[in-house]
Structure 1
Amino acid sequence: MNSINSQRKDEHIENYLRTSSFTSTLLEDVYIEHNAISDICLDEVDTSINFLGRKISMPLMIDAITGGGSSSAAINEDLSSICQELSIPMACGSESIALTEKESRESFELIKDKKDLLRIGNLGFERNYKDFVFAKELIDAHAMQIHLNLAQEMVMKEGDNSYHDPLSIIEELVEKFDCPIIVKETGCGISKNVAKKLIEKNVKYIDIAGKGGTNFIEIEDLRNFDMDFSDFYTWGIPTAKSIIDIRKLSDDIFIIASGGIKTAMDIVKSIIIGADMTAMTGEVLNYLLRGGYDACENFLKEINHKMKIIMVLLGVKNIEQLKKVDYKLTGQLKELTEN
């Protein structure tokens, strides 16, 4: 598989491992207080939630990573097996390559073989209804992500800079599609104004993918030798700000907090300030590619165990109670969310 698109997929993974710019989610500006007289036992803590009509073991999914490149099949095989074992969902990477290159489809289709896996497909905002039907069927998806990657397209040397109307395709998909639609950013966050427009189109699920995690601007810049975009590396809305801003709009929207989620504390704080669940991409890929299958699986098991410890220290037994924990905002996050 040596197509330009396949090569680009592999370069994305290689360049992710080379990225060196790091920005903040601002979750460190969320203060939560220790409960010294907590009467909760570790065995009592339940981290499970319901998502897309299924019970999952903790409020975490593996978010869109890859598919279509020469290394994608092995990555997706490992991650889907881990997710199935741990009873958490998995989203595949963009399936756009599979629309035109048949040889790329195997790296996506193998996810379908995991019958107990909660599977989420993925296509970009420029695709049409027919493409989304194909992508859903390719992996027998339980939901579809529509990703908004405008900043990435602007710096990608093969980027699509033509006019598109993402709200129109989102509206059509929400109205007609036979499975839930999740609107997802790819590292620059969802603003309050954008979320308001999505809610007006009856979008029920938003995956924030805020600033602080995988930086696709840098990843694409490392592929672009004609122009330097390093001054854009800090572009975007911090994940914590996106969560707070969107939750203020509606109690009904299902918020998936992603973008720099790396620890159990990140997950807990995201839930406390308004998220319904969280998603990881880069940190999971790091463990898988640098440590192997067992290291990746053990990392996710430790995340769940550490979540339970934090919940004991807060005096809460389940995720619904966790959502009601008091918190204070400090520093830049407080300044950005005051109005």
Structure 2
Amino acid sequence: MDHIQFALSTSKEARTMFDDIRVVHQALPGLGVEDIRLQPETGDLRLKSPVFINAMTGGGGSETEKLNAILARVAKETGMAMAVGSQMAALKDPDERNSYEIVRKENPDGILFANLGSEASVQQAKDAVEMIEANALQIHLNVVQELTMPEGDRDFKGALERIRRIADEVQVPVIVKETGFGISRETAEQLAVASIEAIDVSGFGGTNFASIENERRQRKLAYFQDWGIPTAAAIVEVDSVFGKTILASGGIRSALDMVKAFMLGADAVGLAGAFLRIAMEKGEKELVLEINSLHEDLAMMMTALGAASISDLKHCPAVISGELFHYLTVRGFEPASFANRSKN
């Protein structure tokens, strides 16, 4: 509950670099809104919506059980997948299982992601999947959060090998995600040799766990406050070396951000803090309305771009400028290539 309260109280607009992208309008799109297909191509994840509820809650007793119940019902009504927060709390304390198991009770046929950190063993991964009858498993990388956390881990050796073993032995697809500091090309190259299905870039610009953990410290680690790869840049980094499903999260706040994420190479996008705030401040019905509006707005913008599917957006031209242009250029990418492509 500390994490939830601090996530809401420390939330602020941060630079995802999506503002440095301008889409190129197509005055002859050649299709109508009724032609738009929002179901993305996500391999074994089999997502029905290009938007999903990313990992947030669980392990905080009855309060997080109530929150997860709300989010699970919203996911069921809107056809979205949903990830739970780290299940290590329930693996250590069986009394916390209810705060996670509620999502399957509320959404018996939905797509649910289990969640553990990279310190988990194969058996813990299997137990987490079994706990919520998960369709996939998220393994989160949270080095900066752990380093900032007063009681956090300080040793991260062996994480890649543990991920490889888990991916080889669990019976569901494995997603590796960051927790708001981004995945670099170098990290994605290492993950590409593991048997994982997807990478969630989870870039800088959304919930800042360094800021949250600094609220729990006497001496703040200020150098981690602005640490990380902005989400837009992280998508390009990962897409350059990872050939499977790419998920994007981290400060995505609107359907326009989503369209830009898809144009950069993402297959689906996850929201956490934005959905959490609506659920807590306005309630379940308002969150359903917001998600339905996001789906509608996506279809409208895709129509204006002549993109019948999410994958079509990857071929639509977009002009990259400003800080993102500079970042991509010095990292060896070619921003101009995005401006001169065609879906035809």
State whether TM-score is above 0.5.
Answer: yes
**1:74-113 residue CA offsets vs partner (Å, 9 max, x unmatched):** 1100111111111110000000100111111101011122
* C-alpha distance in 1 between matches for 2:223 and 2:311: 41
DSSP 3-state at the match of 2:115: strand
How far residue 55 of structure 1 moved from its aligned partner, in angstroms, is 5.1
CA 143–56 in structure 1, closer or farther in 2 if over 3 Å, else same: closer
How far 1:175 moved relative to its partner? Answer: 1.6
Aligned to 2:205: 212
Is residue 288 of structure 1 aligned with residue 279 of structure 2?
Answer: yes
Q: What is the rounded CA distance, in whole Å, between the counterparts of 1:137 and 1:328 in structure 2?
A: 45
> How big is the alpha-carbon RMSD for the aligned residues of Structure 1 and Structure 2?
1.4
The alpha carbon displacement at 1:248 in A equals 1.4
SS in 2 for 1:93: coil
5+ residue gaps, structure 1: 1-9
1:74 is the counterpart of 2:66: yes
Quote the residue 1:234 is aligned against: 226
Partner of 1:159: 152
SS of the counterpart of 2:171? Answer: coil
Aligned to 1:298, which of 280, 289, 292?
Answer: 289
**Equivalent in the alignment of 2:190:** 197
Amino acid at match of 1:76: N
Q: 1:242-257 counterparts in 2 under 5 A?
A: 242-250=234-242, 252-257=243-248
Aligned to 1:22: 13
Aligned to 2:140: 147
Equivalent residue number for residue 92 of structure 1: 84
Aligned length: 328
Task: Tell me the amino acid that sits aligned with residue 103 of structure 1.
Answer: D
- Three-state SS of the structure 2 residue aligned to 1:287 is helix
**Residues in 2 aligned to 1:31 and 1:202: alpha-carbon distance in whole angstroms:** 35
Does the 8 Å contact 1:49/1:319 carry over to 2?
yes
Structure 2 gaps, min length 5: 333-344
What displacement does 1:21 show?
A: 4.4
Report the counterpart of residue 315 of structure 2 in structure 1.
324
Q: TM-score, normalised by structure 1?
A: 0.93
What is the rounded CA distance, in whole Å, between the counterparts of 1:158 and 1:75 in structure 2? 25
2: CA distance between counterparts of 1:77 and 1:144?
19
Hey, what's the Cα distance between the residues in 2 that align with 1:20 and 1:87?
27
- Residue 240 of structure 2 aligns to a residue whose secondary structure is helix
Q: Give TM-score scaled by structure 2 length.
A: 0.92
Q: 2: CA distance between counterparts of 1:52 and 1:111?
A: 23
2 CA distance for matches of 1:177 and 1:55? 17
How far, CA to CA, are the matches of 1:314 and 1:21 in structure 2?
Answer: 30
Q: Offset of 1:202 from its aligned partner?
A: 3.3
- Residue 203 of structure 1, CA deviation: 2.7
SS in structure 2 at match of 1:173: helix
Identical amino acids, percent of aligned pairs: 32
Give the 4+ runs in structure 1 shifted more than 6 A.
none
Map Cα deviations across residues 136-187 of structure 1 (whole Å, 9 max, x no partner): 1100111101100010000111111134311010110122221111001000
**Aligned 1:30-41 pairs, distance under 5 A:** 30-41=21-32
- Map 1:116-155 → 2, pairs under 5 A: 116-155=109-148
Q: Please, which of 177, 186, 206 is the counterpart of residue 184 of structure 1?
A: 177
Counterpart residue number, 2:96: 104
Letter in 1 for 2:260: K
Are 2:43 and 2:245, in contact at CA under 8 Å, matched by a contact in 1? no
CA contact (8 A) 1:52 1:142 kept: no
Rounded to whole Å, the distance in 2 between the matches of 1:270 and 1:160 is: 32
Deviation of residue 278 (structure 1)? 0.8
Aligned to 1:60, which of 51, 73, 78? 51
- Residue by residue over 1:285-337, the C-alpha shift from the partner in whole angstroms, topping out at 9 and shown as x without a partner, is 11111111111111111000000111111122222222211122111111111
Q: 2:300 — aligned with what? A: 309
Classify the secondary structure of the residue corresponding to 1:184.
strand
Task: Report what 2:164 is aligned to.
Answer: 171
Contact 1:57 1:86 in 2 (8 A): no
